[in-house]
């Protein structure tokens, strides 16, 4: 029939008919495209999350060590015991410190890349930021262990500069200090900062890129000093990027169990707690309860960010 | 009386070496206080760079810029009594309209109550009193333009710079805004410097027009002067697309042996006069522009008023005009 209507473009078989169907009913194409990812997200991803949440309401029989499949809040009560609450507090504090430090470090880099870097320099920026992501995470962490070790290059450099006492003074600070950088919270913090920094820079740069130059000029034109322009225009407009970046750095730090195991004091982080509880200890309910904590923290964090208007510029 | 804005041999160059471009090339100009001054020119002619030199977003490589007698050599944009209405309006999307308008007062530390009252006052001035609580994203183009105007005026600038402010508006709105800007300027008595590539806009609004070409000012004068007595071929062609005749053509058609401008509306179709053939017609609504190829080879544009009989392409016609309508120009360029 269509051949009769348009002799120049005869129908050419099932492919054409399919194209025609998609053209008449775009929702069919959309449904076909979305079905696989929705299945994956819905069943595999959300499903396992729900299973996890569910198991956190089970408990373990203290004598036999067997999981009792009855819903109870016992496991959550256990989670709030000082030794476990410490793990949560330690991890959340580390995640917050890493997030703030990466935001401060990333901003100038992202700002330069968004506003000044052109052509070759822009390529150099992307390469510089992404290159570390291409090598193995484990290799980088072990490299950092060597760098931060007592016999490592950092100690050597401090001593060579005659600042060995300074390093010792820093390591003597209670709680965050330690025997050497590689066995202190400072070391853990530095490695986290290094590993997650690109995840802060890239979204920040993307959001800064969307701020038109005339907006900054308008601010100056109306009498704002550069500091005021930063506070009232650049920062609010860059906030969605900062929040996106902080979601990465914060949640990645909350969940990581390798870095604190290789670099740092031997005190546990949430990830390590989950790892040991579900493995050797066989306490799946408590492991699940621990795993729920980062999710809750992130939800609270996003709610607060939204409240403060971080997404107003979206 | 000191001039509001004074350029003395100002040049601004972008890039360096062989790739250097002189965006503004040895420009001297004086804008009087209270004047509505238009900078007119095609894109890339240096008019916007001149505006940015006044606001301080560009610095001259050479020459001095004075605003009310004060040398602007080391004065940053935020310390100049000059405000700008940007081409893309540059409203802050995360602030309400009221906060946008009050921004200039906020950064100067004016207390909240006073600045909100002033913002409302300015919104009333631009006929948007109900819109203070909205975000810029919820406004139409014309409304955004008014907010940008209110925001620039809240600081009571001594010079207001407008960078193609009407470019993004549709025709009807543009004409309404032209009248409104003009009356606003009269009422406030502020010096307006207006950049545009639209000659109609410049002629209808400005007290004085500077025509820019390739980084230089080719003519400055009242709209009537610029339109009726263009100094160069460029001005004649750019302002009102005049017929530009070289010395030989001009002499052949009874004018002086100089470069000459002959306005299309000065030519009439008549029973006698110079013979030619109609080549194309362009219907303009308020008239029709007829291209006529003369027997001697020239191509003349003729503007027929609406209601006049319009010939068809290919028709033989005769053209006549007053000798005084042939305006000899000084420059060649």
> How confident is residue A2, by pLDDT bands cut at 50, 70 and 90?
very low
- Give the C-alpha separation, A135 to A142, whole Å: 12
CATH of the domain at A241: 1.10.3720.10
- Give the C-alpha separation, B148 to A214, whole Å: 12
Residue A153: inside a domain:
yes
> How confident is residue A177, by pLDDT bands cut at 50, 70 and 90?
confident
Contact B107 A237 (CB under 8 A): no
Is residue B100's pLDDT more than 60?
yes
> How confident is residue A131, by pLDDT bands cut at 50, 70 and 90?
confident
Q: Which of B80, B94, B163 to mutate to test the interface with A (most CBs of A within 10 A)?
A: B94
> How confident is residue A314, by pLDDT bands cut at 50, 70 and 90?
low
Give the pLDDT confidence score for residue A6 in this predicted structure. 66
A308 at B interface, C-beta within 8 A? no
Q: Give A105→chain B minimum CA distance, Å.
A: 25
In CATH, B5-234 is 3.40.50.300: yes
> How confident is residue B332, by pLDDT bands cut at 50, 70 and 90?
low
- Give the C-alpha separation, B324 to B256, whole Å: 10
Give the pLDDT confidence score for residue B120 in this predicted structure. 94
Residue A16: inside a domain:
no
Give the pLDDT confidence score for residue B18 in this predicted structure. 79
- Measured between CB atoms, which of A221, A224, A233 is closest to B55? A221
Average the pLDDT over A88-105 and give the result.
95
A312 at B interface, C-beta within 8 A? yes
Closest chain B residue to the Cα of A235, Cα to Cα: B94
- DSSP line for A236-257: HHHHHHHHHHHHHHHHHHHH--
Q: Give B102→chain A minimum CA distance, Å.
A: 10
B77 at A interface, C-beta within 8 A? yes
Give the pLDDT confidence score for residue A113 in this predicted structure. 92
Query: Using a CB-CB distance cutoff of 8 angstroms, which residues of chain B are in contact with residue A234?
Result: none
Query: Using a CB-CB distance cutoff of 8 angstroms, which residues of chain B are in contact with residue A236?
Result: 94
Range from A94-98, A175-179, A234-238 carrying the lowest mean pLDDT: A175-179
Domain range for A229: 83-307
Query: Using a CB-CB distance cutoff of 8 angstroms, which residues of chain B are in contact with residue A220?
Result: 56-57, 76-78
User: Where exactly does CATH 3.40.50.300 map onto chain B?
Assistant: 5-234
Contact A221 B87 (CB under 8 A): no
Q: Could you count the other beta carbons within 10 Å of the beta carbon of residue A95?
A: 27
Contact B106 A232 (CB under 8 A): yes
Give the pLDDT confidence score for residue B288 in this predicted structure. 92
Q: Give B43→chain A minimum CA distance, Å.
A: 18
Give the pLDDT confidence score for residue A188 in this predicted structure. 94
Quick check: B203 and B223 in contact, CB under 8 A? yes
pLDDT tens per residue across span B57-78: 999 999 999 999 999 988 999 9
Give the pLDDT confidence score for residue B48 in this predicted structure. 92
- Give the C-alpha separation, B120 to B110, whole Å: 15
Reported as type and span, the H/E element at residue B177 is helix B171-188
What order of strands is seen across the sheet that includes strand B299-305? Answer: B268-270, B316-320, B274-283, B287-294, B299-305
B152 at A interface, C-beta within 8 A? yes
Where helices occur in chain A by DSSP H, the ranges are 2-5, 14-24, 26-39, 47-55, 74-79, 82-115, 119-134, 137-148, 153-160, 164-171, 185-209, 213-221, 226-229, 235-255, 259-262, 270-278, 284-307
Give the pLDDT confidence score for residue A72 in this predicted structure. 87
Residue A206: inside a domain:
yes
Average the pLDDT over B72-88 and give the result.
91
Contact A218 B92 (CB under 8 A): yes
Give the pLDDT confidence score for residue A300 in this predicted structure. 92
Give the pLDDT confidence score for residue A1 in this predicted structure. 47
Is residue B307's pLDDT more than 60?
yes
Average the pLDDT over B215-220 and give the result.
93
Average the pLDDT over B88-98 and give the result.
93
B208 at A interface, C-beta within 8 A? no
> What burial class does residue A277 get, using C-beta atoms within 10 Å of its C-beta: 0-12 exposed, 13-18 middle, 19+ buried?
buried
Give the pLDDT confidence score for residue A260 in this predicted structure. 93
User: What percent of chain B is modeled with pLDDT above 70?
Assistant: 99
B106 at A interface, C-beta within 8 A? yes
Closest by Cα among B63, B55, B61, B70 to B3: B70
- Give the C-alpha separation, B189 to B4, whole Å: 12
CATH class of B244-328: mainly beta
Quick check: B83 and A222 in contact, CB under 8 A? yes
Q: Give B122→chain A minimum CA distance, Å.
A: 15
Q: Which of A218, A228, A240 to mutate to test the interface with B (most CBs of B within 10 A)?
A: A218
Query: Quick one: tokens of A107?
Result: 């901003």
- Measured between CB atoms, which of B90, B152, B155 is closest to A215? B90
Contact B103 A220 (CB under 8 A): no
- Give the C-alpha separation, B166 to B170, whole Å: 8
Q: What pTM, to 2 d.p., does this model score? A: 0.80
Contact B57 A217 (CB under 8 A): yes
- Measured between CB atoms, which of B90, B107, B151 is closest to A228? B107
pLDDT tens per residue across span A25-81: 989 999 999 999 999 998 888 998 899 889 899 988 878 878 888 888 888 998 899
Is residue A149's pLDDT more than 60?
yes
Is residue A5's pLDDT more than 80?
no
pLDDT tens per residue across span A184-228: 999 999 999 999 999 999 999 999 998 899 999 999 999 999 999
Closest by Cα among B25, B30, B20, B31 to B10: B25
Q: What are phi and psi of B36, to 5 degrees?
A: -100, 105
Number of domains in chain A: 1
- Give the C-alpha separation, A124 to A115, whole Å: 15
- DSSP line for B142-157: HHHHHHHHHHHHTT--
Reported as type and span, the H/E element at residue B184 is helix B171-188
Give the residue carrying structure tokens 């999350």. Answer: A49
- Longest distance between any two alpha carbons in chain A, whole Å: 91
- Give the C-alpha separation, B301 to B320, whole Å: 12
Give the pLDDT confidence score for residue B296 in this predicted structure. 77
Contact B94 A236 (CB under 8 A): yes
User: What percent of chain A is modeled with pLDDT above 90?
Assistant: 45
Give the pLDDT confidence score for residue A3 in this predicted structure. 46
Give the pLDDT confidence score for residue A219 in this predicted structure. 95
Average pLDDT of every residue of chain B: 90
User: Where exactly does CATH 2.40.50.140 map onto chain B?
Assistant: 244-328
Average the pLDDT over B183-204 and give the result.
91
Q: Give A96→chain B minimum CA distance, Å.
A: 26
> How confident is residue A12, by pLDDT bands cut at 50, 70 and 90?
confident
Query: Quick one: tokens of B42?
Result: 């095609």
DSSP state of A179: S
ipTM: 0.84
> How confident is residue B34, by pLDDT bands cut at 50, 70 and 90?
very high
Closest by Cα among B251, B275, B273, B224 to B328: B251
> How confident is residue B281, by pLDDT bands cut at 50, 70 and 90?
very high
Give the pLDDT confidence score for residue A7 in this predicted structure. 67
- Give the C-alpha separation, B211 to B214, whole Å: 10
Average the pLDDT over A174-182 and give the result.
84
Quick check: B97 and B146 in contact, CB under 8 A? no
Quick check: B49 and B65 in contact, CB under 8 A? no
| Rounded (5°) CA angle A150-A154-A158 | 100
Average the pLDDT over B152-159 and give the result.
92
Contact B104 A223 (CB under 8 A): yes
């Amino acid at each position: 029939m269509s051949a009769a209507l348009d002799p120049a473009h005869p129908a050419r078989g099932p492919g054409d008919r399919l194209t025609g169907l998609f053209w008449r009913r775009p929702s069919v194409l959309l449904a076909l495209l979305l079905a696989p990812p929705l299945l994956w997200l819905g069943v595999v991803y959300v499903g396992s999350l729900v299973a996890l949440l569910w198991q956190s309401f089970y408990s373990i029989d203290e004598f036999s060590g067997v999981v009792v499949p009855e819903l109870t809040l016992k496991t959550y009560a256990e989670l709030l015991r000082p030794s476990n609450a410490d793990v949560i507090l330690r991890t959340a504090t580390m995640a917050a410190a890493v997030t703030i430090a990466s935001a401060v470090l990333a901003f100038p880099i992202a700002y330069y890349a968004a506003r000044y870097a052109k052509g070759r320099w822009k390529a150099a920026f992307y390469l510089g930021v992404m290159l570390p992501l291409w090598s193995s995470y484990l290799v980088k962490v072990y490299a950092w262990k060597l760098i931060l070790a007592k016999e490592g290059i950092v100690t050597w450099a401090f001593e060579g500069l005659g600042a060995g006492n300074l390093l010792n003074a820093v390591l003597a600070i209670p709680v965050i200090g330690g025997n050497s950088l590689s066995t202190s919270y400072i070391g853990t913090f530095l490695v986290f900062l290094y590993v997650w920094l690109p995840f802060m820079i890239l979204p920040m740069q993307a959001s800064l890129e969307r701020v038109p130059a005339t907006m900054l000029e308008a601010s100056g034109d109306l009498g704002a000093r550069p500091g005021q322009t930063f506070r009232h225009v650049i920062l609010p407009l860059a906030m969605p990027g900062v929040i996106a970046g902080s979601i990465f750095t914060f949640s990645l730090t909350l969940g990581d169990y390798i870095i604190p195991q290789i670099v740092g004091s031997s005190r546990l982080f949430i990830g390590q707690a989950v790892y040991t509880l579900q493995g050797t200890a066989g306490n799946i309910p408590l492991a699940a309860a621990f795993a729920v904590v980062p999710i809750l923290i992130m939800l609270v964090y996003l709610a607060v960010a939204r409240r403060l208007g971080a997404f107003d510029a979206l | 009386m000191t001039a509001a804005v004074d350029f003395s041999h100002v040049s601004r160059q972008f890039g360096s070496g062989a790739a250097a471009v002189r965006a503004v090339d040895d420009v001297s100009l004086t804008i009087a206080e209270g004047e509505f001054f238009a900078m007119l020119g095609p894109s890339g002619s240096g008019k916007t760079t001149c505006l940015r030199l006044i606001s301080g977003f560009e610095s001259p490589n050479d020459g001095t810029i004075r605003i009310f007698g004060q040398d602007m050599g080391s004065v940053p944009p935020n310390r100049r009594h000059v405000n700008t209405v940007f081409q893309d309006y540059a409203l802050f999307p995360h602030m309400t309209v009221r906060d946008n308008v009050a921004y200039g007062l906020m950064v100067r530390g004016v207390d909240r109550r006073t600045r909100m009252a002033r913002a409302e006052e300015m919104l009333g001035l631009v006929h948007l009193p109900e819109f203070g609580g909205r975000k810029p994203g919820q406004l139409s183009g014309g409304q955004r333009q008014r907010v940008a105007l209110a925001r620039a005026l809240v600081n009571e600038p001594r010079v207001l710079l407008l960078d193609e402010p009407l470019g993004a508006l549709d025709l009807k709105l543009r004409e309404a805004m032209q009248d409104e800007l003009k009356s606003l300027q009269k009422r406030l008595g502020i010096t307006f410097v207006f950049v545009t590539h639209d000659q109609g806009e410049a002629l209808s609004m400005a007290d004085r027009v500077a025509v820019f070409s390739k980084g230089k000012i080719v003519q400055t004068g009242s709209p009537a002067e610029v339109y009726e007595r263009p100094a160069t071929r460029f001005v004649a062609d750019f302002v009102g697309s005049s017929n530009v005749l070289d010395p030989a053509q001009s002499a052949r058609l009874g004018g002086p042996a100089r470069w000459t401008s002959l306005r299309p509306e000065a030519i009439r179709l008549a029973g006698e006069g110079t013979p030619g053939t109609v080549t194309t017609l362009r219907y303009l609504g308020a008239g029709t522009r007829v291209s006529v190829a003369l027997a001697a080879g020239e191509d003349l544009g003729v503007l027929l008023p609406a209601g006049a009989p319009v010939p068809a392409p290919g028709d033989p016609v005769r053209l006549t005009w007053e000798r005084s309508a042939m305006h000899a120009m000084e420059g060649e360029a």
